[in-house]
């Protein structure tokens, strides 16, 4: 039975669900819930980015731009125009999808470094616009965002809720919400990967020329996955804005884009569970290292460097490989 | 995994803290939490602030602490990033359970923490400038620096005294510059001063000749004001001199430091700006109540850290002293009592100015706490 489970298509999703819903047993402080919620939202963004980086093999250095656009669209629409959260999130995601499609078509014709440079520029432009349109975005000092509301029902990190007879405070409710969102994001991504589109994407990653030769419309698939990953980023940006309650243009900034890419690379390109691990590790490190004060940045860099030198495939794939080898050895010894 | 890692870090912290606590009394410490931009682009704010906090917490503990209890400073570095600031504020409130927060180097960092602070009902003294922090008044949020609005009032007031009614404005697009620009435009309208030219530059620009030429070519401009900080204003100052513009030139309090004089060199000659008296401690008149405080702070800071004192560190000094005074007045660390005591502090003479707080005013300073300085022979000269 264990064997059958291990071969199940959605095995990873089940494992993730178990971890996510068991985690509250170990969290005893709203601060941990806070962190875990952010991790889940960021992880879902990175799962989307991984479709582009890990499966289609295209690098985007401007993804925070899309994340920030989603966050600001939600912020502006809900606080200035009285929109409800869900329509703001959906319309924002559609708009960002259209923007990604428009800029994606010409950009994705570029290859290698040129593609990264172009996405980098898109990210920068978005950040500059958010910084300078002070009347709309509040400028560099940022803007407040109201709590997440659905049909007049409000999900605030400061509220208190009742779920199936369980008393939940706002942090716990948000965590559960974010956990479900992450599961849905992973489920969608897994389905996309296992569909014909996913196979086409992997063929693009393998060799674009070969993919074209066998009849894959590479330009179409590349821009499709670019749009999908941008929509992921935008939707998660909207949730992030609601959760944080306050956003600054830094959410669309270059540093944040690099953080996203680092999460993908560190966790393991092309491994959905891996990039989630990457997101968790990179969100956790600053908190863990905070006690080392001025050594924090040095240690952060050293950890990243050592991981990349000794685990070039990323954290999770390397661990899986090591465990696999061990199990094989064990099996061999027994026989 | 999360928990073990955090617990292990906790142990580290405990060991480190134990070393500190052992030197103090056995009484339970009063926890002062702080998140500051000690590294990153805003480190020129956070670094002197942290040094000031560390130094005066030590000093207060040597003198027997507050209410007979030692102070314990718990501080984190937000790298100038608002979402980090929010996370660390959350950690201070929920995990470290501090009694009061003194911190928030930038307006973004402060505002990101405000919703948490208001909800957790914990007194918070911010060290950031923008007027939005305390206007409208937020029950639990206080701040020590003068707002950019006061700077605008002071500058435009000085212009009016000189009979100037039409000005050209140039400002940075960073948080400080753009907030300052908005406030200047508002104040100018109220005071009946016309802003004829309104130019901006971004923080990484290396030449502002084009914007200044536009201002020079605008008919009727009688003075020029630059609102910004970082290296931008120094470049504006040099370009201003290179273009030979012969109009009174004003800068904001954002560049009120000795390092600005070094950057701008001779070009700064004759420019005016509003600043903390900390830049001219010795030329303050003898009867100025701030003179002694300012001189002491400057001497103590420079002796301890062997580096130049900065006005930003002074915000932290005033923040810590207000917190201490409020805790003493409240007689306990009960949060509501401390908040009320903070709100009722009257006549505290700090380095930044004289604070008179009230339920309607959580800043407590007035525009006169800025001194107008002029650069003469490469040095600051007190005008009024």
B227 touches chain A (CB under 8 A): no
Confidence tier at B286 by pLDDT (50, 70, 90): confident
Residue B309, domain member (yes or no): yes
pLDDT of residue A180: 94
Does A107 fall in a domain? yes
Q: Which chain B residues are within 8 Å of A250, Cβ to Cβ?
A: 81-83, 108
B307 and B351 share one domain = yes
What pLDDT, on a 0 to 100 scale, did the predictor assign at position A58? 85
- Asked if residue A239 is part of any domain, the answer here is yes
Q: Residues with Cβ < 8 Å from B298, sequence gap 6 or more?
A: B278, B281, B309
CB contact under 8 A, A31 and B130: no
Q: Does pLDDT of B124 surpass 90? A: yes
Select the more confidently predicted residue: A97 or B265.
A97
**pLDDT tens digit string along B25-44?**
457 899 999 999 988 878 88
- Can you tell me the mean pLDDT for B82-91? 89
For the ranges A27-36, A154-163, B285-294, B317-326, the one whose mean pLDDT is highest: B317-326
Average pLDDT in the A275-281 region? 93
> Is B215 in contact with B197 (CB distance < 8 Å)?
yes
In a domain, A4, yes or no: no
Tell which wins on pLDDT, B95 or B21: B95
For residues A187 and A211, the answer to whether their CB atoms sit within 8 Å is no
Cβ contacts (< 8 Å) between A129 and chain B: which residues?
A: none
Given B13, B39, B88, which is nearest A297 (Cβ)? B39
Of B21, B78, B71, B16, the closest CA to residue B47 belongs to B78
Mean pLDDT of B141-155: 92
Calculate mean pLDDT across residues B74-79.
90
A31:B91 CB<8 A: yes
d(CA A142, CA A222): 34
B169 in the same domain as B141: no
**pLDDT confidence of B21, banded at 50, 70, 90?**
very low
pLDDT score of A219: 81
Which residues of A fall within a CB distance of 8 Å from B78? Answer: none
Q: Which domain holds residue B193?
A: 149-281+370-382
Q: Which of B145 and B13 is assigned the larger pLDDT?
A: B145
Distance CA B3, CA B381 (A): 57
Helix, strand or coil, per DSSP, at residue A26 = coil
> Do B141 and B179 sit in the same domain of this protein?
no
Window 74-133 of B: residues touching A by CB (8 A cutoff) are: 76-77, 81-84, 86-88, 90-91, 93-95, 107-108, 111-112, 114-115, 119, 130, 132
B95, B111, B130 ranked by CB distance to A31: nearest? B95
In this prediction, residue B23 carries a pLDDT of: 46
Q: Using CA atoms, how far apart are residues B92 and A137, in angstroms rounded to an integer?
A: 28
**Interface predicted TM-score of the whole assembly (ipTM), two decimals:** 0.78
The mean pLDDT of B140-164, rounded to a whole number, is 92
As for how many domains chain B has, the answer is: 2
Question: How far away is chain B from the Cα of A97, in angstroms, using its nearest Cα?
Answer: 25
Domain count for chain A: 1
A265 occurs within a structural domain = yes
User: B178, A140: Cβ pair inside 8 Å?
Assistant: yes
> CA of A163: how far to CAs of A36, A168, B89, in Å?
19, 7, 28
The structure's pTM equals: 0.81
Do residue B112 and residue A142 have CB atoms under 8 angstroms apart?
yes
Same domain? For B119 and B171 the reply is no
Residue B5 confidence (pLDDT) above 60? no
**Structural domain boundaries, residue A177:** 13-299
Task: Give percent above pLDDT 90 in chain B.
Answer: 53
* Identity of the residue in B76, B84, B115 whose CB atom sits nearest the CB atom of A246: B115
**Does a structural domain hold residue A185?**
yes
Give the pLDDT band (50/70/90) at residue A335.
very low
Highest mean pLDDT range out of A139-143, A287-291, B284-288, B359-363?
A: B359-363
Residue A147 maps to a domain: yes
To the nearest whole Å, the CA of A281 is away from the closest chain B CA by: 9
Taking CA–CA distances from A28, the nearest residue in chain B reads B3
3-state secondary structure of A270: coil
Higher-pLDDT residue of A155 and A180 is: A180
DSSP collapsed to 3 states, chain B: CHHHHHHHHHHHHHHHHHHHHHHCCCCCCEEEEEEECCCCCCHHHHHHHHHHHHHHHHHHHHCCCECCECEEEEEEECCCCHHHHHHHHHHHHHHCCCCEEEECCCHHHHHHHHHHHHHHCCCEEECCCCHHHCCCCCCCEEECCCCHHHHHHHHHHHHHHCCCCEEEEEEECCHHHHHHHHHHHHHHHHHCCEEEEEEEECCCCCCCHHHHHHHHCCCCCCEEEEECCCCHHHHHHHHHHHCCCCCCEEECHHHCCHHHHHHHHHHHCCCEEEECHHHCHHHCCCCCCHHHHHHHHHHHHHHHHCCCCCHHHHHHHHHHHHHHHHHHHHCCCCHHHHHHHHHCCCCEECCCCEECCECCECCCCCHHHCEEEEEECCEEEECC
Asked if the Cβ–Cβ distance from A290 to B88 is below 8 Å, we say yes
Regarding whether B235 and B176 lie in a shared domain, the answer is: yes
How close is the nearest chain A Cα to the Cα of B3, in Å? 7
pLDDT at B129 over 70: yes
């Amino acid at each position: 039975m264990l064997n059958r489970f291990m071969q199940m298509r959605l095995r990873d999703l089940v494992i993730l669900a178990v971890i996510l819903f068991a985690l509250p047993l170990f969290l005893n402080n709203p601060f941990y819930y806070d962190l875990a919620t952010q991790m889940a939202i960021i992880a879902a963004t990175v799962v989307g980015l991984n479709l582009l980086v890990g499966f289609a093999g295209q690098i985007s250095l401007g993804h925070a731009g899309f994340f920030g656009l989603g966050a600001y669209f939600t912020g502006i629409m809900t606080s200035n125009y009285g929109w409800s959260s869900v329509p703001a999130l959906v319309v924002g995601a559609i708009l960002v999808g259209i923007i990604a499609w428009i800029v994606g078509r010409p950009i994705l014709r570029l290859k290698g470094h040129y593609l990264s440079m172009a996405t980098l520029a898109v990210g920068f432009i978005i950040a500059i616009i958010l910084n300078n349109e002070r009347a709309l975005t509040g400028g560099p000092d940022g803007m407040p965002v109201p709590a997440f509301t659905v049909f007049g029902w409000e999900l605030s990190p400061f509220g208190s809720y009742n779920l199936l007879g369980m008393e939940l405070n706002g942090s716990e409710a948000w965590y559960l919400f974010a956990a479900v969102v992450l599961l849905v994001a992973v489920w969608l991504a897994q389905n996309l990967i296992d569909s014909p589109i996913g196979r086409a994407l992997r063929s693009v990653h393998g060799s674009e020329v070969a993919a074209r030769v066998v009849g894959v419309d590479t330009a179409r698939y590349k821009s499709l996955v670019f749009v999908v990953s941008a929509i992921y980023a935008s939707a998660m940006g909207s949730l992030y804005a609601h959760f944080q309650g306050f956003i600054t243009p830094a959410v669309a900034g270059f540093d944040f884009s690099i953080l996203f890419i680092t999460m993908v690379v560190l966790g393991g390109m092309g491994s959905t569970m891996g990039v989630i691990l990457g997101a968790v590790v990179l969100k956790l490190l600053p908190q863990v290292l905070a006690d080392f004060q001025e050594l924090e940045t040095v240690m952060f860099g050293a950890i990243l460097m050592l991981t990349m030198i000794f685990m070039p495939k990323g954290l999770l794939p390397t661990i899986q490989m090591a465990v696999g080898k061990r199990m094989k050895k064990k099996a061999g010894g027994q026989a | 995994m999360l928990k073990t890692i955090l617990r292990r870090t906790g142990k580290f912290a405990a060991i480190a803290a134990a070393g500190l606590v052992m030197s103090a009394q056995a009484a339970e410490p009063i926890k002062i939490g702080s998140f500051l931009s000690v590294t990153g682009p805003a480190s020129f704010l956070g670094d002197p602030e942290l040094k000031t906090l560390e130094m005066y917490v030590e000093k207060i503990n040597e003198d027997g602490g507050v209410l007979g209890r030692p102070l314990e400073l718990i501080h984190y570095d937000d790298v100038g990033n608002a979402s980090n600031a929010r996370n660390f504020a959350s950690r201070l409130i929920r995990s470290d359970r501090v009694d009061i927060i003194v911190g928030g180097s930038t307006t973004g960092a402060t505002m990101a923490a405000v919703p948490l602070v208001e909800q957790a009902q914990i007194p918070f003294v911010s060290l950031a400038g923008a007027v939005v922090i305390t206007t409208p008044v937020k029950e639990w949020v206080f701040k020590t620096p003068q707002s950019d609005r006061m700077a605008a009032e002071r500058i435009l007031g000085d212009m009016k005294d000189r009979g100037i009614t039409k000005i050209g404005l140039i400002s940075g697009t960073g948080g400080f510059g753009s907030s300052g620009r908005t406030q200047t435009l508002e104040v100018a309208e109220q005071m009946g001063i016309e802003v004829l030219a309104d130019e901006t530059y971004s923080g990484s620009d290396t030449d502002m000749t084009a914007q200044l030429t536009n201002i020079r070519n605008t008919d009727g401009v009688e003075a020029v004001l630059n609102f910004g900080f970082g290296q931008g204003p120094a470049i504006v100052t040099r370009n201003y001199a290179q273009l030979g513009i012969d109009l009174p030139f004003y800068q904001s309090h954002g560049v009120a430091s000795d390092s600005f004089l070094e950057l701008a060199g001779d070009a700064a000659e004759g420019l005016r700006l509003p600043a903390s008296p900390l830049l001219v401690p010795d030329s303050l008149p003898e009867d100025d109540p701030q003179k002694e405080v300012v001189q002491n702070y400057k001497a103590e800071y420079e002796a301890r850290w062997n580096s130049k004192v900065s006005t930003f560190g002074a915000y932290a000094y005033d923040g810590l002293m207000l917190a201490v005074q409020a805790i003493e007045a409240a007689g306990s660390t009960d949060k509501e009592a401390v908040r009320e005591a903070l709100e009722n502090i009257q006549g505290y003479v700090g380095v930044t100015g004289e604070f008179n707080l009230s339920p309607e005013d959580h800043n407590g300073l007035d525009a006169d706490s800025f001194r107008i300085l002029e650069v003469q022979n490469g040095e600051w000269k007190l005008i009024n």
